[in-house]
Structure 1
Amino acid sequence: MHDDSLLYQVAELYFVQDMTMGAVADRFGFSRSTVSRMLSEAKSRGIVKISLRPPENPPDRLSRRFKDIFGVTAHIAGTQRSSPGGQRLEAVSRYAASLLTEWVEDGSVLGVAWGTTTSSIAANLRQSDAQDVTVVQLNGAAGPRTTGAGTSTPLLSTMATAFNAELYPFPTPAFFDLEETRTLLWKESSVRRILAVRASVDLAVFSVGAFQGPVLSQVYTEGHFTHAALLSLNENRVVGDICTVFIREDGSYADIDVNRRASGPTPSDLARIPRRLCVVSGRHKVRGILGALRSGAVTDLVIDDLTAKDVLDYVEPAGRLVRQRDA
């Protein structure tokens, strides 16, 4: 163990003054291996904190294909080919958290859809210097078996704390039993106040939920739907949801009955927001990702490299064959 002051001096020479490890070793009479260990120790103690700023316009080939095909800016999170789903989710969450820290500025109104992915993003946020920020919940979370507070409250509180923001929760059901109930509740002054804040959002963050695959969306694991209801969604060719609004692979959603009872903004509502960040990973979500992209709800996409390739292979089968031959 080395003294914090000495670790700071070594780290300052190496990281700030760009001295080589050998030069730092000569300065203090250490070996280069000792300097290397000291730099690692400085990182583990928090003396050195390294941050990466994602590029505003990613230049890589995958990103260009997403721009050409879907008109969105794709931010590709690099992962190892063998990385399991949890590590891929963590990679896209870290990337998205970095982007949000860059994009949220004084006076921003950030809309957040609750879920597994956005909770992971919140856990990776750094403290921001932005002021006068507002965080508003985009969709209700209450269901037949839960109030939804355990899902949405920690996420929203973490987001609000990170951005020094005023928080506007949206204490409504994720899905209403009756469309008429939703219509009446939307007329209440307390709800209209939240809806007005939601309408002023300039940056939204959400994911794509899936009711098939190894990692199911919380919409499908917290009792909002019976097995029969899920079968009905499948019969309607539903491939997932964004902000608790169900979508098909072609991006259509307006004629899906359950959406008239949903509390979240539709893709058309989202399209009025200047910047809409969709964060997603997992090949089981490929068709849902396509639906989200084709619905017009997304301006920016954070996605891991393997899932990005799966999406492009799905829409460009000829390209997939070429890549297989090249491999």
Structure 2
Amino acid sequence: MPDAPAPLPTPPAPGADLQAVQVARLYYIQGLTTDAIARELGLSRPKVSRLLSHARRSGLVEIRIHDPEGQAQALETELRTHYPFLQAQVVSVPQGSPEHLWQDRVATAAASLLGRLIRPGMTVGLAWGNTINAVSHELTPRAVPGVTFVQLNGSANAADFMSGFVTDTILRFARSYSAGAQLFPVPTFFDDPATKQAMWRERSVRHVLDLQAHADLLLYSVGSHTASTPSHVYAAGYLDAGDLDVLAAEGAVGDIATVFFRKDGSFDGLTLNARASGPALSLVRDAPDSICVVSGLGKVAALHAALRGGLMRRLIVDEITARAVLDSVEP
């Protein structure tokens, strides 16, 4: 005998769509459990489950899954397409979250990456600032023999010869890995380029410069005076109004270790760089390995320019900032 035909599904009762929408709102929008919905509407729990199934089958409810990791991975692929030299890690952040949360997430990711990369005998150059300070608070302590952290740019200004903010950041890295720390007690910006050149001939300074030049890994961010939380060098009085005017007139859009670069990533000929204590950006560009850690929409222009100049090997960035940078890439 032929098989009996499958029974047709029971048609929904009149008003089922309205009741299914009501149940779906309570379940998906207000987050009530099926038990709570049953009590509130005077229905049985199986009835609530059937109404939820009806809402999905009939299209009254559409379920979409937005995979933040998938979005991040797509952005990483797009960054590598535009910048083939780059190893990018895009960090997912909740939509609508504040920028300080983005920085926290990015700092945690950077600290994790540093922990995987660091090895015995390594010299790590650190460019101080708000972002790298945030990374220092996320480190997982472990002893790594023979590691030295070297400060990449001076931290003294007219008001404070040796910034406690900077010293604490560098020493926090060193303590986390039971490592040595080489501070760099020179002005962030010299008043006269000739003074800098004279200082650079001193043996004690040459020792620090040699450590910087032979570092195995550099860790830094990009600075920007337009960020919602301005980079420390802009907020702490290291630059006066005249300096900022000169930077604007010469087309500077950002800095790495207080050495400035233009929109196209170039850095030669910028007046303030002759007075800056940070390393030449050619050293940053050609370093064996480097991690640039960036978060915040105020840093988009600076990050875009640094990428155009090839001023990093690795990038850790939040997904919203990454998307904004990619949106600014010319087709």
Contact 1:268 1:296 in 2 (8 A): no
Among candidates 42, 56, 77, match of residue 64 of structure 1: 77
Contact 2:72 2:92 in 1 (8 A): no
Cα drift, residue 64 of structure 1:
1.4
Residues in 2 aligned to 1:163 and 1:149: alpha-carbon distance in whole angstroms: 22
Say which SS state the counterpart of residue 328 (structure 2) adopts.
helix
Alignment match, 1:250? 264
Aligned pair 1:266/2:280, yes or no? yes
Residues in 1 aligned to 2:92 and 2:257: alpha-carbon distance in whole angstroms: 26
Residues in 1 aligned to 2:72 and 2:105: alpha-carbon distance in whole angstroms: 19
Question: RMSD across aligned C-alpha pairs, in angstroms?
Answer: 1.6
One-letter amino acid of the structure 2 residue matched with residue 253 of structure 1: F
Gaps of 5+ in 1: 1-57, 319-327
Say which SS state the counterpart of residue 254 (structure 1) adopts.
coil
Alignment match, 2:236? 222
Larger radius of gyration: 2
Among candidates 217, 234, 244, match of residue 248 of structure 2: 234
One-letter amino acid of the structure 1 residue matched with residue 310 of structure 2: G
Say which SS state the counterpart of residue 89 (structure 2) adopts.
strand
Q: How does the TM-score come out when normalised to structure 2?
A: 0.76
One-letter amino acid of the structure 1 residue matched with residue 77 of structure 2: R
Contact 1:74 1:300 in 2 (8 A): yes
Cα drift, residue 136 of structure 1:
0.4
Residues in 1 aligned to 2:241 and 2:99: alpha-carbon distance in whole angstroms: 25
Q: How does the TM-score come out when normalised to structure 1?
A: 0.77
After superposition, residues 292-311 of structure 1 pair within 5 angstroms as 292-311=306-325
Alignment match, 1:199? 213
Aligned pair 1:149/2:149, yes or no? no
Residues in 2 aligned to 1:230 and 1:198: alpha-carbon distance in whole angstroms: 27
Contact 1:145 1:222 in 2 (8 A): no
Cα drift, residue 261 of structure 1:
0.8
After superposition, residues 1-327 of structure 1 pair within 5 angstroms as 60-70=73-83, 71-316=85-330
For residues 84-132 of structure 1, the C-alpha deviation after alignment (integer angstroms, 9 at most, x for no partner) is 0110111110000000000001111111001000000000000123211
| Greater mean alpha carbon deviation, residues 62-71 or residues 171-180 | 62-71
Gaps of 5+ in 2: 1-70
Say which SS state the counterpart of residue 315 (structure 1) adopts.
coil
Cα drift, residue 196 of structure 1:
1.1
Q: Could you list the runs of 4 or more consecutive aligned residues of structure 1 that deviate by over 4 angstroms after TM superposition?
A: none
Say which SS state the counterpart of residue 278 (structure 1) adopts.
strand
Distance 1:59 1:90, change over 3 A: closer
One-letter amino acid of the structure 2 residue matched with residue 61 of structure 1: A
Cα drift, residue 59 of structure 1:
8.7
Alignment match, 1:38? none
For residues 34-55 of structure 1, the C-alpha deviation after alignment (integer angstroms, 9 at most, x for no partner) is xxxxxxxxxxxxxxxxxxxxxx
For residues 238-260 of structure 1, the C-alpha deviation after alignment (integer angstroms, 9 at most, x for no partner) is 11111100111100111101101
Cα drift, residue 227 of structure 1:
1.7
One-letter amino acid of the structure 2 residue matched with residue 295 of structure 1: G
Residues in 2 aligned to 1:207 and 1:214: alpha-carbon distance in whole angstroms: 15
Cα drift, residue 231 of structure 1:
2.2
Cα drift, residue 149 of structure 1:
2.3
Contact 2:123 2:216 in 1 (8 A): yes
Contact 1:267 1:296 in 2 (8 A): no
Residues in 1 aligned to 2:257 and 2:165: alpha-carbon distance in whole angstroms: 14
